[in-house]
């Protein structure tokens, strides 16, 4: 049955669940798959993002969006009107072939990226046909019954059918940083958004507890969708994107000035106006690296595919460049530096001896809680091998990041009691007594100093140490306010040893110019012990309490020198990232927890893992399929390779191409004819573009990925001036040989210079692609083949029927000898200049 989205203006929060089911034509056991598919077709995907999928036809048409290309197409039409059909058709074919080249590469890149993103889709649990199944969030429809638990992203606006100790983060709507408690029920129709305690909203996420929700609105029909224009700001530009933009502005300014001057001068010299106009436009095409967007897309998608083979999935392509530029990586220790397999070392009483009672109480707390499951609770459950009694939970107060403890009220052994487990200091806050032996209870104050000393000693030995406390209660539900006057029972010590390869991997990252900073909620003693185990012997530690006492300016300075941030609160992670960024660093943050989303958003590169909670995975730019620093190290190197290959195209565009077009512009001022016809210039541009498309698969020197790199416009300007001038010098040498020595007429001049300019621009790529001597750094297979094909085509073209179409003539053998000599001298000079350039002008 076809249904429209439920109208949220009907104040569904003021209705009971049966009324909502009736309005939605849904039921408690969920929709059928067929019904859900029909509703998805009617309502569309459950997303507020604009679809990034572009049809093949539109992608092809987008290849013609360049203003220069549009002007050329208009010039083609003008040529046809004036009767110059042959040249018009040739120019159109060249433009069409260039567009096909860009379309083919971009289409393949887009398909590759789409396949990669499917690997890290966010999914949710829904009831369909009374069976729980996992589906992508985008496929949720109004009427679906969704099951939520800690860490889940809420997939749509919905009414709570059932809830248990449910807390949601609704900061995106209310600005309130503390979790909001949610309960099933009915709320007044006039209730404001923040007062709708029986409702969950798309764009929020679950902090703790569980719930069953009937989805009322999806996509743009949600509250989040309605205010998305205000909430969803544009994704900040990466450093590389800013560099590309500034580079584009620089070339546009140069091109505009040069083209206007050339056109004006040629008209003043009484050369044909249409030819002069087409010549100026063709020059502009040659000067503009119009393939740069395609080259960047191809490089990034190629980099993303290579990184995927190394278990690194890129969600946002532009983040690859930042990944390669990253010089600081902030990470938690669990699972990345440590093995991620937490084990219980011991359960101790306050006398420091083994305590079965402490272990038993800790097991009850860990095994019976229904909130967010974590490695600590799993380790406690796995280590308890005694007979497991039947126990019934009456109340649960889930763990949260403010209290840092978890409480259950349970009926066991004929009595009702509350058992609390959590961070030692937070457990001590709610205790007034301590158990020194069987049925021996003393005031906590009498043993507190000894307990603190014992805790510090355990922490200094590297153990994660939790406190366990209990309190006898009546049958009334236990609340947060009742967490007081408890009895401290003892300690649970856990350990998570560092990975065998962690020390070497951290050293490899350091050598690659990436310093690791550990951010952890563990106490400073545990963190420092771990640091010593992985070779950070003189680690500087800053604690969360110290951060609170520092001014912003002081913290920015201190954050640079610190190696470990311990005992940090969730909101302090974001502060650490921002402080490091303000100091000029490119910062990566690796997180997988519920409270890591703000820091992941703040980082230049947000990194998560495939096993992370939904909210962390959604916030990340990059998702690791293995939670391993070695995988991360491989990904960083791939990011640098992508950056290096992109820069090769930039260097090429600012050397031979720029030099050739500049020389052509100058030659047109003193030659009685155009140095190259417009169609010949466009053919030159097409042929030099062909091998450049293979740059994405080119090999990269070890030296180019040894350290982080950033876009440097000043460096590129220097490169353009030095190598553009060298190219122009040899161009004018070619002009001199052709005119004064070989006495070439118009067609022979144009053919000879076409041959020299295409071959020199193609071969110079082999020089500028590496800082090493070109014979010591061989190009990739595809670049080599493409280069050889272009050179062979140019050499034989004057002897083919294409020569007449393009206005070329057969060249005598002596022309080939001279052109070969000039190209050889050009390559040698460029190689020597490169050695001088990187020694003298390379920024340090």
For 365-395, write each residue's pLDDT tens digit.
998 887 666 778 888 998 888 777 778 888 8
Close Cβ partners of 651 (under 8 Å, ≥ 6 residues apart): 716, 719, 723, 768, 769
Per-residue confidence band for 9, with pLDDT thresholds at 50, 70 and 90: very low
The strand ranges marked E within 186-321 are: 199-200, 205-217, 312-314
Between 235 and 224, name the one with better pLDDT: 224
Tell me which of 58-72, 223-237, 272-286, 685-699 is least confident. 223-237
**DSSP class per residue in 344-390:** EEEEE-TTSSB-HHHHHHHHHHHHH--S---HHHHHHHHH--S----
**Would you tell me which CATH number, out of the four given (2.60.120.620, 1.20.1110.10, 2.60.40.10, 1.10.3720.10), belongs to the domain 58-111+240-304+636-840?**
1.20.1110.10
Is residue 222 within 8 A of residue 186, CB to CB? The reply is no
What are the boundaries of each domain within the chain?
A: 8-46+140-231, 58-111+240-304+636-840, 326-339+499-625, 348-392+408-492
The confidence score (pLDDT) of residue 529 equals 87
pLDDT band, very low/low/confident/very high, at 697 (cuts 50, 70, 90)? confident
Active-site annotation, residues: 332
- 629-652 and 713-736 are packed helices; what angle lies between their axes, rounded to 10 degrees? 40
CATH of domain 348-392+408-492: 3.40.1110.10
In CATH, what class is 8-46+140-231? mainly beta
Span 95-107, pLDDT tens digits: 676 667 556 655 6
User: Poorest-confidence range of 165-179, 394-408, 592-606?
Assistant: 165-179
Note the pLDDT of residue 151: 76
Greater model confidence, 370 or 407: 407
Which tens digits make up the pLDDT trace of 227-243? Answer: 654 434 445 566 666 66
pLDDT over 80 at 282, yes or no: no
Per-position DSSP letters for 614-644, written without gaps between them: HHHHHH-SEEESS--HHHHHHHHHHHHHHHH
- What's the confidence (pLDDT) of residue 114? 57
Choose which CATH entry (2.10.69.10, 2.40.50.180, 1.10.150.20, 3.40.50.1000) describes domain 326-339+499-625. Answer: 3.40.50.1000
- CA–chain centroid gap for 723, Å, is 34
Q: What is the pLDDT of residue 372?
A: 65
State the pLDDT at residue 229: 43
Please indicate whether residue 813 or residue 388 has the higher confidence score (pLDDT).
813
Query: Is the pLDDT at 825 greater than 90, yes or no?
Result: yes
Q: Which span out of 249-263, 307-321, 500-514, 628-642 was modeled with the highest average pLDDT? A: 500-514
Q: Around Cβ 788, how many Cβ atoms within 10 Å?
A: 12
Read off the tokens for 797: 């073209």
At residue 505 the predicted structure's pLDDT band, cuts being 50, 70 and 90, is: confident
Percent with pLDDT over 70 in the chain: 83
| Residue of 328, 709, 336, 335 lying closest to 516 (CA atoms) | 328
User: How many angstroms separate the CA atoms of 164 and 149, rounded?
Assistant: 10
Q: Which is more confident, 770 or 82? A: 770
pLDDT grade for 1, boundaries at 50, 70 and 90: very low
Residue from 536, 420, 426 nearest 486 by CA:
420
Q: What percent of the chain has pLDDT over 90?
A: 21
Residue 82 in this model has a pLDDT that exceeds 70: no
Contacts of residue 637, Cβ cutoff 8 Å, sequence gap at least 6: 512, 705
pLDDT at 97: 66
* Average pLDDT rounded to a whole number, residues 517-541: 85
Query: Span 449-475, mean pLDDT?
Result: 92
Q: At what angle do helices 658-670 and 713-736 cross, to 10 degrees?
A: 40
Please give the pLDDT value at position 2. Answer: 41
pLDDT at 667 over 60: yes
| Other residues' Cβ atoms within 10 Å of the Cβ of residue 425 | 13
| Mean of pLDDT over the chain | 81
């Amino acid at each position: 049955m076809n249904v429209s989205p439920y109208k949220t203006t009907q104040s569904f929060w003021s209705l009971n669940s049966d009324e909502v089911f009736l309005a939605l034509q849904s039921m408690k056991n969920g929709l059928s798959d067929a019904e859900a598919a029909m509703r998805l077709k009617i309502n569309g995907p459950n997303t507020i993002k604009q679809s990034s999928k572009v049809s093949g036809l539109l992608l092809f048409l987008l290849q013609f969006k360049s203003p220069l290309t549009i002007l050329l197409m208009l010039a083609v039409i003008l040529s046809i009107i004036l009767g110059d059909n042959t040249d018009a058709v040739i120019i159109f074919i060249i433009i069409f072939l260039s567009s096909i080249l860009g379309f083919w590469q971009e289409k393949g890149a887009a398909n590759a990226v789409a396949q990669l993103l499917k690997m890290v889709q966010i999914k949710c649990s829904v009831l369909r046909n009374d069976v729980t199944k996992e589906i992508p969030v985008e496929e949720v429809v109004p009427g679906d019954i969704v099951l939520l638990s800690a860490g889940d992203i809420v997939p749509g606006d919905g009414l709570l059918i059932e809830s248990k100790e449910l807390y949601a983060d609704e900061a995106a709507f209310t600005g309130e940083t503390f979790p909001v408690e949610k309960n099933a029920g009915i709320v007044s129709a006039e209730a404001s958004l923040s007062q709708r305690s029986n409702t969950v909203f798309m764009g929020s996420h679950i902090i703790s507890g569980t719930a069953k929700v009937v989805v009322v609105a999806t996509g743009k029909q949600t509250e989040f969708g309605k205010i998305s224009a205000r909430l969803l700001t544009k994704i900040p530009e990466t450093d590389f994107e800013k560099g590309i933009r500034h580079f584009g502005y620089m070339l546009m300014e140069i091109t505009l000035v040069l083209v206007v001057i050339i056109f004006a001068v040629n008209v003043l010299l009484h050369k044909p106006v249409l030819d002069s106009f087409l010549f100026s436009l063709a020059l502009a095409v040659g000067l503009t690296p119009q393939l740069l967007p395609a080259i960047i897309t191809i490089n990034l998608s190629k980099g993303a595919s290579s990184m995927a083979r190394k278990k690194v999935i890129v969600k946002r392509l532009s983040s690859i460049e930042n990944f390669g530029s990253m010089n600081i990586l902030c990470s938690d220790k669990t699972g990345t530096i440590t093995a991620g397999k937490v084990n219980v070392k011991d359960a101790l009483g306050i006398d420091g001896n083994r305590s079965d009672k402490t272990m038993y109480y800790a097991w009850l707390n860990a095994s019976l809680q229904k909130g967010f499951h974590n490695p600590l609770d799993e380790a406690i459950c796995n280590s308890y091998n005694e007979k497991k009694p039947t126990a019934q939970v009456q109340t649960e107060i889930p763990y949260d990041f403010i209290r840092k403890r978890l409480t259950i009220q349970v009926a066991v052994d004929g009595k009702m009691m509350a058992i609390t487990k959590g961070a030692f200091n937070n457990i001590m806050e709610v205790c007034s007594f301590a158990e020194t032996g069987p049925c021996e209870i003393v005031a906590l104050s009498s043993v507190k100093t000894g307990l603190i000393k014992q805790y510090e000693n355990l922490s200094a030995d590297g153990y994660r140490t939790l406190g366990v406390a209990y309190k006898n209660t009546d049958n009334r539900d236990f609340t947060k306010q009742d967490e007081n006057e408890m009895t401290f029972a003892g300690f649970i010590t856990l350990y998570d040893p560092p990975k065998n390869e962690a020390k070497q991997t951290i050293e490899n990252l350091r050598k690659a110019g990436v310093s690791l900073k550990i951010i952890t909620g563990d106490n400073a003693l545990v963190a420092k012990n771990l640091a010593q185990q992985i070779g950070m012997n003189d680690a500087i530690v800053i604690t969360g309490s110290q951060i609170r006492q520092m001014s912003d300016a002081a913290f920015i300075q201190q954050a640079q020198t610190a190696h470990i941030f311990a005992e940090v609160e969730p909101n302090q992670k974001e502060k650490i990232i921002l402080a490091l960024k303000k100091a000029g660093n490119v910062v990566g943050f690796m997180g997988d927890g519920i409270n890591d989303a703000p820091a992941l958003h703040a980082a230049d590169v947000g990194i998560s893992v495939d096993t992370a909670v939904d909210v962390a995975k959604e916030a990340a730019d990059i998702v690791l399929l293995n939670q391993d620093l070695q995988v991360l190290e491989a990904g960083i190197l791939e990011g640098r390779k992508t950056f290096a290959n992109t820069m090769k195209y930039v260097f090429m565009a600012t050397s031979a191409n720029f030099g050739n077009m500049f020389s052509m512009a100058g030659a047109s001022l003193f030659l009685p004819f155009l140095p190259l016809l417009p169609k010949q210039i466009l053919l030159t541009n097409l042929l030099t573009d062909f091998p450049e498309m293979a740059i994405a698969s080119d090999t990269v020197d070890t030296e180019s990925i040894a350290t982080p790199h950033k876009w440097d416009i000043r460096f590129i300007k220097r490169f353009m001036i030095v190598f553009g001038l060298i190219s122009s010098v040899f161009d004018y040498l070619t002009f001199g040989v052709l005119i004064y020595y070989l006495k070439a007429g118009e067609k022979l001049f144009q053919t000879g210079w076409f041959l020299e300019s295409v071959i020199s621009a193609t071969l110079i790529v082999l020089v500028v692609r590496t800082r090493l001597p070109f014979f010591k750094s061989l190009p990739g297979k595809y670049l080599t083949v493409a280069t050889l094909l272009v050179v062979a085509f140019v050499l034989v073209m004057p002897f083919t029927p294409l020569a007449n179409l393009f206005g070329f003539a057969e060249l005598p053998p002596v022309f080939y000898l001279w052109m070969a000599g000039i190209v050889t001298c050009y390559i040698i000079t460029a190689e020597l200049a490169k050695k001088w350039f990187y020694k003298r002008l390379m920024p340090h």
